[in-house]
Amino acid sequence: MEGAHDMGGVKWSGPVRPEPDEPVFHAEWERRAFAITMAMGMPGGWNIDMSRFAREDRPPEDYLGKSYYQIWLAGLERLMLERSLVAPDEIEAAKPLHPAKPVKRTLGPDDVAAVLHRGGPTEREAKAPAVFAAGDRVRAKMIHPPTHTRLPRYVRGHVGVIERVLGCHVFPDSNATGAGENPQWLYTVTFDGRELWGDVSDPNLKVSVDAWEPYLERT
Amino acid sequence: MSDHDHGHYHGDHDHSDLSETELRVRALETILTEKGYVEPAALDLLIETYETKVGPRNGARVVARAWTDPAFRARLLRDATPAIAEIGYAGRQGEHIVAIENTPQLHNMVVCTLCSCYPWPVLGLPPVWYKSAPYRSKAVKDPRGVLRDFGFGLPEGTGIRVWDSTAEIRYLVLPMRPAGTDGWSEERLVELVTRDSMIGTGLPKQPHEVA
């Protein structure tokens, strides 16, 4: 999906602004937004790729007009509304108006440490050997799927070199749509700066992305 | 503090807009709690974990150990996830970690141009600038410009390698150990390791800075 979230190389005004002694959260609502988003993953039953798509699949003016945790919140609302866990009139009324939908599990305080420690590993057993090996030259395909993808625009069509074979991992393009994990080989692909940006690039720049096998073709 | 510092990409949001967000978060938390989907004690624990337990101090420990223990360093660079788990750091947003080493010839920088992927178990939650449009857009095209924004430059001719975290692999930069720290213990070295030095937008502190 072509969205404002895919920012690599976009001309942006103004410098990066580090904030000295930055706090983890800047407001109480950010704390709460973070926590409810994290906690709803378990009863909600969505996966990380569905979450990312729910945040990113919005008009550029909306995406760019929201702060980071406002985007999280909008994504969370969308995921919950899609599954009828909450209804629009409840958000409007700021209280429950309909019975709760049965959920398999909720996150209790005793689960928090273990759930965070376990995380969500994405590596899976490979069903077929990797097509590419370190050193192979590959081209990032020129794809424009209307659904979720993790191949950034700035590398599409460009030629790079397989630097590392990272194992077989859950494929976001499938996982985000509910079509299953569909694990695919994952590679670190390294591009010369000049291949991506032309003569304006620092000649000593190399940029890598981690790309699943379906994103790549042999040159 | 301006709205920009709070991570707004574009335009200004006045006070009423922020209040609207506050009210909406409060409304959602009420609804989710009353419906039994979330437990307030778990929410508090999640916040407490990332405000007080999981942060760049963890990564600093990893780096300082790599500086003092060559066998650990070798394990870290070969397969960082189990090496880091030896110290007790693992899990959410750090399920598959790769450590990358700075050398006099090569400087590494980590970004996520698509969202804000970041190695939580070793660095905590990402700072606002890391999630901001200027960083996400500029890091892959003009990393030297980014370094200037952070107030430092690299010697001409030094290679720059940018790692865009587009999958579930999370990257941790192993910065170079500062000169003048021979004989320092892991404990003392931890104080030199800044968060930004593990992202690649900064360097470790010099010994005189922590005197």
Q: Does residue A46 form part of some domain?
A: yes
pLDDT digits (tens, 9 = 90+) for A33-53: 999 999 999 999 999 999 999
| A96 and A135 belong to one structural domain | no
Q: What is the DSSP letter of B51?
A: I
pTM for this predicted structure? 0.95
CB B59 within 8 A of CB B91: no
Q: Do residues B81 and B121 share a domain? A: yes
Looking at residue B3, its pLDDT comes to 40
- In CATH, what number is assigned to the domain containing residue B169? 3.90.330.10
Q: How many independent structural domains does chain B possess?
A: 2
Say yes or no: A130 and A205 in one domain.
Answer: yes
Q: Which of A118, A152, A174 is the last residue of a domain?
A: A118
Structural tokens at position B109:
């920088």
Q: Are residues B134 and B205 in the same domain?
A: yes
Tell me, yes or no, whether B47 and B64 share the same domain: no
| pLDDT at residue number A1 | 87
ipTM above 0.90, yes or no: yes
Within B69-118, residue ranges assigned H as helices are 70-78, 80-86
Number of domains present in the structure of chain A? 2
Residues B19 and B118 grouped into a single domain = no
Active site includes B112? yes
Q: Which of B19, B115, B137, B185 is labelled catalytic?
A: B115
Section A102-131 average pLDDT: 97
Same-domain status, B60 and B46: no
pLDDT of residue A11: 87
Distance, in Å, from the CA atom of B102 to the CA atom of B84, rounded to the nearest integer, reads 18
Alpha-carbon span A102 to A215, nearest angstrom: 38
Same domain, yes or no, for B45 and B59? no
Distance from CA of A198 to the nearest CA of B (A): 10
**Bigger pLDDT: B18 or A185?**
A185
Q: What is the pLDDT of residue A164?
A: 98
pLDDT confidence band for A2 (50 / 70 / 90): confident
Candidates A160, A172, A186, A168; CA nearest to B161 is A160
**pLDDT above 90 (res A14):** no
Taking a C-beta distance cutoff of 8 angstroms, is the pair A186, A211 a contact? yes
- Mean pLDDT of the A190-206 span: 97
**B139 lies in a domain?**
yes
Pick the closest to residue A99 from B29, B40, B43, B37 (CA basis).
B37
Task: Report the pLDDT averaged over residues A122-127.
Answer: 97
Beta bridge partners of A207: A191, B162
Contact B174, B69 (CB under 8 A): no
The pLDDT, as a whole number, for residue B198 is 98
* Separation CA A206–CA A194 (nearest Å): 9
A92 with A176, same domain?
no
Mean pLDDT split into 10-residue runs, chain B, 211 residues = 42 58 97 98 98 98 98 98 98 98 98 98 98 97 97 92 98 98 97 98 96 73
Same domain for A153 and A69: no
Residue in B58, B115, B123 to test binding to A, most A beta-carbons within 10 Å: B115
Q: What is the pLDDT of residue B56?
A: 98
- Do B30 and B124 lie in a common domain? no
**Do residue B61 and residue B114 come from a single domain?**
yes
Question: What are B100's strand-pairing partners?
Answer: B173
In a domain, A22, yes or no: no
**Residue B19 counted as domain residue:** yes
**Is there a single domain that holds both residue B42 and residue B63?**
no
- Spatial CB neighbours of B151, under 8 Å, sequence gap ≥ 6: none
End position of a domain, from candidates A87, A118, A149: A118
Give the span between the Cα atoms of A146 and A112, in whole angstroms.
35
Find the residue in B nearest to A192 (Cα).
B161
Name the residue among B9, B29, B55 with its Cβ closest to that of A32: B29
Residue A8 lies in a domain: no
Q: Which residues contact A73 (CB under 8 A, 6 or more apart)?
A: A33, A37, B21, B24, B25, B28
Taking an 8 Å cut-off on Cβ atoms, the answer to whether A205 and B162 are in contact is yes
Instruction: Concatenate the DSSP letters of all residues of chain A into one string.
Output: ---TT--TT---SS-----TT--S-SSHHHHHHHHHHHHHHHHH---HHHHHHHHHSS-HHHHHHS-HHHHHHHHHHHHHHHTTSS-HHHHHHTS--SPPPP-S--B-TTTHHHHHHH----EE--SS--S--TT-EEEE-----SS-----GGGTT-EEEEEEEEEEE--HHHHTTTS----EEEEEEEEEHHHHHGGGS-TTEEEEEEEEGGGEEE-
Are A60 and A106 in the same domain? yes
pLDDT > 90 in chain A, percent: 97
In a domain, B6, yes or no: no
Both tokens of B62, joined, read 């990893």
DSSP class of residue B206? P
Chain B's closest residue to A193, CA to CA, is B141
User: Looking at residue B17, what is its pLDDT?
Assistant: 60
Which single residue is written with the structure tokens 């800047």? A26
Residue A70 in domain:
yes
**Residue B107 belongs to what H/E stretch?**
strand B106-111
The residues with which A169 forms a beta bridge, in sequence order, are A123, A184
d(CA A116, CA A59): 32
Could you say which of B90, B94, B157 has the minimum Cβ distance to residue A204? Answer: B157
Assess whether B86 and B188 both reside in one domain.
yes
The domain of B46 spans 13-51
A43 and A113 part of one domain: yes
Domain that holds residue A100: 28-118
Contact B115 A55 (CB under 8 A): yes
Instruction: Tell me how crowded residue A7 is: count the other CB atoms within 10 A of its CB.
Output: 27
A-chain CB neighbours of B19 within 8 Å are none
Q: How far is B142 from chain A (nearest CA, A)?
A: 7
In this structure, what token pair is assigned to residue B191?
Answer: 């104080």
Judge if A85 and A101 occupy the same domain: yes
Helix axes of A48-56 and A68-82: crossing angle, nearest 10 degrees:
110
- Is residue A5 situated within a structural domain? no
